[in-house]
Amino acid sequence: MEDKIQLQKKLKHQILTINDMNTTSKFVVGLAAAAAAGAVIGMLFAPEKGKDLQKRLASGTKDWLAELGSLLDIGKDVVTKVKKNSEQVVDDFGAQLKEVSKN
């Protein structure tokens, strides 16, 4: 019975760790979206000539796309780590479940 309780505690801890990674990735994406929205709003309300504003928007868009690419790379890394950790949790849980069921 103690083995089952320890197994449940370990599984709960591993699930919470995976959920924390999801929270982190959501925060990073939200932060990037807010920064991009703030930059665009700031550019639209700045008192500039149309052509100057177009140049600034084009430059800002290129910068934003470069940053978005970096964030997507980070997101891919997070997803890969979560997938790997999830697979490990499932494998560990299966092995532990087999061990407990033997007893």
- Report the distance separating Cα 21 and Cα 43, nearest Å: 33
- Tell me the residue type at 73: D
- Closest by CA to 39, choosing from 75, 63, 73, is 63
What is the structure's pLDDT at 1? 56
Query: What is the model's pLDDT at position 48?
Result: 66
pLDDT the model gives residue 21: 59
Q: Per the structure block, which two tokens stand in for 11?
A: 């599984």
- Residue 72: what pLDDT? 83
Digits of tens for pLDDT over the chain (103 positions)? Answer: 566 666 666 666 666 666 665 677 777 778 888 888 887 777 777 776 777 777 877 888 888 888 888 888 888 888 888 888 888 888 888 888 787 777 6
Segment holding 48, helix H or strand E: none
Provide the pLDDT for residue 14: 64
